[in-house]
């Protein structure tokens, strides 16, 4: 079964307290029997494992910084992450296979949805208004930016493919009489584009919501 890796960091104030919290977490994860540690002048390293989890704590004394590395099977990662985050309230995520995999999954769905939406807009507006629909039915500010962007790509795609995703919402609103059918003619359904755009922005910055 594929292993998942996650890494976290934490700034602490009390060295003895953070050591106690580490022991408490190791107990909670049933890892105390295999606990090992090494201590140096500037850091202390805790290491433990069982049949389904490996966990390592690197505690830097001089800079009051804790790094946690977890490696486990996919089915356990959510529980271990939740337990760890609950124990260390100010924990920050450094790396997560879970997030990367989730981003890849969302990215594929997003690209398919975005392209289908663009294609339907093109078909509906070009059928009704002809080949010049882009110049006559699209806000000039959006149109000019997309035309300018297309020049850097040798005009390989229709101008709408150079519009930001949230610009597509403006295009739909401006042409709601024709494009409302894409959202069951219920303008409230357009809010889904805001939700998708928020997730898209997180994705392209390497972040995502945990579930």
Segment 72-125, tens digit of pLDDT: 887 788 888 888 888 888 888 888 887 787 778 888 888 899 999 999 999 999
Segment 168-186, tens digit of pLDDT: 999 999 999 999 999 999 9
Quick one: which H or E segment has residue 111? helix 97-129
Strand partners, 42: none
Percent of the chain with pLDDT over 70: 97
| 81 domain-assigned | yes
- Of 62, 90, 118, the residue that ends a domain is 90
Specify whether 196 is located in the same domain as 137. yes
- CATH, residue 83: 3.30.310.10
Please state which of the ranges 15-19, 133-137, 206-210 shows the lowest mean pLDDT. Answer: 206-210
Range of the domain at 107: 101-204
Structural domain tally of the chain? 2
Specify whether 171 is located in the same domain as 108. yes
pLDDT at 11: 93
Specify whether 175 is located in the same domain as 131. yes
Q: What is the pTM of this model?
A: 0.66
Specify whether 73 is located in the same domain as 115. no
Q: Rounded distance, CA 184 to CA 119, Å?
A: 17
Specify whether 113 is located in the same domain as 151. yes
Res 211 pLDDT > 60? no
C-alpha angle with apex 140: 134 to 145, nearest 5 degrees?
90
Residue 209 binned pLDDT confidence (cut-offs 50, 70, 90): low
pLDDT at 1: 55
Specify whether 77 is located in the same domain as 162. no
Quick one: which H or E segment has residue 94? strand 92-96
């Amino acid at each position: 079964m594929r292993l998942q890796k996650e890494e976290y960091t934490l700034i602490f104030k009390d060295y003895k307290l953070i050591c106690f919290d580490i022991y408490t977490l190791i107990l909670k994860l049933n890892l105390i029997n295999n606990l090992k540690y090494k201590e140096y002048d500037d850091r202390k390293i805790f290491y433990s494992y069982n049949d389904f989890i490996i966990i390592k704590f690197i505690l830097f004394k001089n800079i009051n910084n804790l790094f946690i590395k977890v490696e486990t099977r996919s089915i356990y990662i959510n529980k271990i992450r939740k337990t760890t985050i609950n124990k260390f309230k100010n924990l920050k995520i450094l790396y997560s296979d879970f997030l990367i995999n989730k981003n890849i999954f969302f990215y594929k769905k997003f690209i398919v949805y975005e392209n289908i939406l663009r294609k339907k807009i093109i078909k509906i507006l070009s059928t009704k208004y002809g080949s010049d629909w882009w110049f006559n039915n699209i806000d000039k500010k959006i149109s000019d930016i997309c035309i300018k962007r297309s020049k850097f790509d040798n005009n390989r795609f229709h101008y709408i493919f150079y519009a930001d995703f949230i610009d597509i919402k403006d295009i739909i609103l401006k042409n709601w009489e024709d494009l409302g059918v894409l959202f069951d003619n219920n303008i409230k359904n357009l809010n889904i584009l805001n939700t998708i755009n928020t997730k898209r922005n997180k994705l392209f910055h390497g972040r995502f919501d945990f579930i």
